[in-house]
Structure 1
């Protein structure tokens, strides 16, 4: 709309001034002059008509809109000519503008329509020249059709009448008004350009700034990184690149809501800004990751010290209402020029280091070391091979006994998955299970393990229980209860013999969905145990949130109870906790008689471990068919 106003203002004033000059240039043997109010009225009519014609020609939702706009423009030029001619007073003339013929009106309208028909293609120089030519012809046609009086009065002195301007004065007025309109339009255009440039700069600034924390984002980092590294190189300095990756940030969003998650990010940003030097570049790099660049360090030891400072800041508890949120973070460190000469490589290596820190427990600093890329590629390759493991029969099951603590009687088996890679040979569970968890492949593996284990247990001679591990991903991202029901029906295993062990070492994403799944399993008779108690991040909260049927204490406490008094205290507390909840506690990892005696005295009802035998294959467990054959013989 603004550009239409400027265009109409310039076009109308130019057409009007050209017609005024054409009228004043006529050489007549009589006195003549111009009525200024009528001439200005002609200018106003011209502006309104030109604006209407231009506006109509830009309408895309009206068929033949440019042609209709051109007709309005052509008729406006004709009406302007009549009105301007009426302002031209000639002493004794028979006619002052009433003699325009119909053909001139039609010709102006046609030429105007042709001129504006090129509006949709104005980006083309040819279309622009054609539109200009036909618009010029429309105005020229008006000038050529101006009526010339045939008789004149012999007396002079017409200019002495009040309100009339001479030809020279009117030309000056017309040129002045045309120049003012052009200057106004030019000023408006410049202001509009400046406004657009200011908006562009504002948008560019916003595009380089994180809207939540108001820190620079990764696009801005890439923009200034080369200068930071170049400056550090010129000054002979070491540049440290520290990547903070918040541990369990999704769990914060799930437990407390996204509002609290945003508050944590903003609080982290404020803490970093308020406690680090102005020389340090801080940015929110991606999601729950912050990137910090310090280009003014003197040695690699200082880079490590700086990373420790960052870790201490990142670990500060955050107060929210009555809660104090403890923030855990995995920190990766890469150093320029030792670990790379450009930011892309440095960030990539800091990110690899942060992933490594998270994979070994999180909440620590991990400098980049040579070979991490190979390790990451190995993990990626392993994940790719793992997807085909169930299809190519590379997975197998072994079973570990579960026994009563006091008598040693067998009460069940736990099914454990093993993977023999076609080329790499046996892959340890501690190597491929975390990869399966991170990649989501655990869903397929878990489904295979459940069905294969239930099919085996249904054929055991002794109707002991079967424990099968399940990932929180299976509980929250699939219809796990429906799957278990289908497997039980397919294999014929009674529901009361199946026990699902939900590992507590992996964060639970969807608490509501997991809670509903546990209730559904219990309703069909399947027991649900809490696995790896004490190893995870929020054991007591998890135990309180879900209705478990059993607590399984992590093997790390059992295996260190002979030497570590803290492990003994934790085991006693876990057993008392189970008694208070009215659910049994099973301790895994029992390998010695001393461990067994301690657990007996502490009141632990069930145990599992190598003390009662190594893992056994499915073929080593007595089957119903074998039992029947012996009975028959």
Structure 2
């Protein structure tokens, strides 16, 4: 430790020693991670570079520390110490990386430290001090140096934290410092040594280390820049549509996001346009996908070549394009930009021997007029485009909150409808039906209810048409049939249930199987189930509808015509289809006492049903006067608010129990009727 307290040392040599040790050890640790990532020749290149850096920096540090004592060196022996340091460094790095999963890291670090010990003793021999074997090699300083070297490589290889490079570098520097500070005397007498002194050795070491570290840093910069360039290339490739070369959806969102952040809301605007290529799918079907690709690439090329510096265009999918123009001040500027795009799209496209004509309708959204976020702007432009495609007189339509937000809410409701099916948010309510003559409870009409977790109760008038449009009516309708039959199985065997089915359900071939499955699972008699249809549900394909209804009748179920007197009501329908009941629409019951036409229609309906042995039920009865008239006309069954509003199933159970207790001998058969929707 005398070296620590000696004043006879060269501070410049010590400063350089510390600098080279710090840079060299840090680069050694940092580059080792690149060896792990590399493969094949790349891995060998990094291994070679690390060995050179580790060996030369350790050697230079040792030489400069010895030089700081005023030593002179024999050049040949000094060169031999460099080769020794390089050899041990290469061996240690190879062992560390080839056996990283075992104790190779620790062994490799120890080998490098042993190499530093050997190199130090050779350097001391070059300075005329001579070797310290075997006594010096077993000193505490040597042991500590080897242990710290092993620990440095263990941390570097086995951990992957932000502090790993710093900890490993500090351990390697400590290993070198412990070695030289505990092994060297404060001053080395070299009077008898003929060799190079400070004036030759110091510049030589600086030149060698500058070349090695400069090459290492250059290699590092080249490798880092290559990675950056590769990432930029991948990032750019990920933002480009591979077919057309235009920007894709990700690039579109980034561009709009940048404009949202930089546009001065007080003085400037920008517009987002959305458009599809009309007739593209037709051309694609007729001429093939190769022609479709040709159209997309041609249109994209024309659009891109016509763009001004503040204009942007992207293809996001299929034939769907978006365009953005910034720096505008009026809505008219956005319209002019849209018309420019339309003119480009309309240009005929030559494909082999044919000229292909393509058009478009554009939807537009303005910032900051009605939106503040990227997704809102894109969504608004898309909604406006859908409205533009449904019109015949306007080619450019801007997002209108009063019109388009309702459509967006409808789309959101359709998403919620899917969730409602999965989360079982539907419930069936029942409205009582009664005999027109005895006023006795003879059944129920069941109404589906949707308990939305946010919007509350949603009217069937809102979600049933949506379910029919989206096709979800099939799943909802099947659930309603099954649930109603299961609930009816708890009631008396005389209770019938009737289910209203939509036109979409009737057009499906599996409706009879759904009905049969519901009857089988619930165990009810098929005669207790009645299906209601409207005439509008069978006129589209009467032959198919008749086939489906006959299959249902063959199961033992009955069929009722719902909403008779509205829509396509025709007497010929009773000749073609096997109806068991007619339900007169409430529109003719509400003014039955005051409107002669309504009275005549109800009377005629009863007159048609009686000779055909078809029962008549009147909907919407709300007062005693209406009930008296219907009884007088000979109507069989009635229902409406006069007898009660729809109630949940547990209340229907209670009502049936009460009716059973009050039922008189010889009463008519009880009938419970199910209906999808609240009409």
**How would you bin the TM-score normalised by the shorter chain?**
0.5 to 0.7
Cα shift readout 1:61-97 (whole Å, capped 9, x = no counterpart):
52344422221111211332355566x386xx9x678
Residues 138 and 300 (structure 1 numbering): CA distance in 2 closer, same or farther, change over 3 Å?
same
Is structure 2 residue 44 aligned with structure 1 residue 16?
A: no
> Structure 2 regions of 5+ residues with no counterpart?
1-34, 36-44, 432-445, 489-493, 495-500, 547-566, 588-605, 616-635, 637-666, 669-679
Q: Is the 8 A contact 2:364 2:398 kept in 1?
A: yes
Q: Report what 1:123 is aligned to.
A: 163
Q: Report what 1:377 is aligned to.
A: 409
Q: How does 1:45-56 map to 2 (within 5 A)?
A: 45-54=84-93, 56=95
Residues 531 and 81 (structure 1 numbering): CA distance in 2 closer, same or farther, change over 3 Å?
farther
**Alpha-carbon offset, residue 43 of structure 1:** 2.0
Residues 80 and 226 (structure 1 numbering): CA distance in 2 closer, same or farther, change over 3 Å?
same
Residues 114 and 345 (structure 1 numbering): CA distance in 2 closer, same or farther, change over 3 Å?
closer
Q: How does 1:340-351 map to 2 (within 5 A)?
A: 340=371, 343-351=374-382
Q: Is the 8 A contact 1:329 1:363 kept in 2?
A: no
Which of 88, 106, 111 is 1:72 aligned to? 111
Tell me the secondary structure at the aligned position of residue 392 of structure 1: strand
Cα shift readout 1:316-353 (whole Å, capped 9, x = no counterpart):
89888999999897742213454346655433322332
**Alpha-carbon offset, residue 242 of structure 1:** 1.0
**Alpha-carbon offset, residue 615 of structure 1:** 7.5
Question: What is the rounded CA distance, in whole Å, between the counterparts of 2:480 and 2:162 in structure 1?
Answer: 69
Q: Is the 8 A contact 2:117 2:137 kept in 1?
A: no
Residues 18 and 375 (structure 1 numbering): CA distance in 2 closer, same or farther, change over 3 Å?
closer
Q: How does 1:449-528 map to 2 (within 5 A)?
A: 469-470=504-505, 486=517
Q: Is the 8 A contact 1:330 1:365 kept in 2?
A: yes
**Alpha-carbon offset, residue 551 of structure 1:** 11
> Structure 1 regions of 5+ residues with no counterpart?
397-416, 460-465, 501-528, 534-547, 553-588, 597-604
Which of 428, 445, 465 is 1:433 aligned to? 465
Question: What is the rounded CA distance, in whole Å, between the counterparts of 2:242 and 2:323 in structure 1?
Answer: 18
CA RMSD of aligned residues (A): 6.6
Name the TM-score, length of structure 2 as normaliser. Answer: 0.52
Which of 251, 257, 275 is 1:244 aligned to? 275
Residues 339 and 198 (structure 1 numbering): CA distance in 2 closer, same or farther, change over 3 Å?
same
Is structure 2 residue 172 aligned with structure 1 residue 136?
A: no
Q: Report what 2:212 is aligned to.
A: 181
Name the TM-score, length of structure 1 as normaliser. Answer: 0.55
Cα shift readout 1:463-490 (whole Å, capped 9, x = no counterpart):
xxx9952599x99xxx999858746977
Q: Is the 8 A contact 2:81 2:119 kept in 1?
A: yes
Which of 428, 434, 442 is 1:393 aligned to? 428
Cα shift readout 1:16-69 (whole Å, capped 9, x = no counterpart):
2344446667779xx97321xx54343233234224435655679523444222
Cα shift readout 1:436-489 (whole Å, capped 9, x = no counterpart):
654x74442242477799999xx9xxxxxx9952599x99xxx99985874697
Question: What is the rounded CA distance, in whole Å, between the counterparts of 1:200 and 1:313 in structure 2?
Answer: 35
**Alpha-carbon offset, residue 228 of structure 1:** 4.8
Tell me the secondary structure at the aligned position of residue 428 of structure 2: coil
Tell me the secondary structure at the aligned position of residue 393 of structure 1: strand
Question: What is the rounded CA distance, in whole Å, between the counterparts of 2:526 and 2:351 in structure 1?
Answer: 49
Cα shift readout 1:179-200 (whole Å, capped 9, x = no counterpart):
2212222222333333333334
Question: What is the rounded CA distance, in whole Å, between the counterparts of 2:525 and 2:392 in structure 1?
Answer: 40
Which of 300, 303, 324 is 1:269 aligned to? 300
Question: What is the rounded CA distance, in whole Å, between the counterparts of 1:419 and 1:310 in structure 2?
Answer: 49
Q: Report what 2:312 is aligned to.
A: 281
Q: Is the 8 A contact 1:450 1:468 kept in 2?
A: no
**Equivalences, count:** 494
Residues 292 and 284 (structure 1 numbering): CA distance in 2 closer, same or farther, change over 3 Å?
same
Q: Report what 1:110 is aligned to.
A: 147
Residues 452 and 201 (structure 1 numbering): CA distance in 2 closer, same or farther, change over 3 Å?
closer
Q: Report what 2:75 is aligned to.
A: 34
**Alpha-carbon offset, residue 309 of structure 1:** 5.2
Q: Report what 1:444 is aligned to.
A: 475
**Alpha-carbon offset, residue 282 of structure 1:** 0.8
Cα shift readout 1:165-216 (whole Å, capped 9, x = no counterpart):
6675344433321222122222223333333333343344345444554333
Question: What is the rounded CA distance, in whole Å, between the counterparts of 1:433 and 1:316 in structure 2?
Answer: 41
Q: Report what 2:229 is aligned to.
A: 198
Question: What is the rounded CA distance, in whole Å, between the counterparts of 2:540 and 2:343 in structure 1?
Answer: 29
Tell me the secondary structure at the aligned position of residue 272 of structure 1: helix
Q: How does 1:298-317 map to 2 (within 5 A)?
A: 299-301=330-332, 303-304=334-335, 306-307=337-338, 310=341
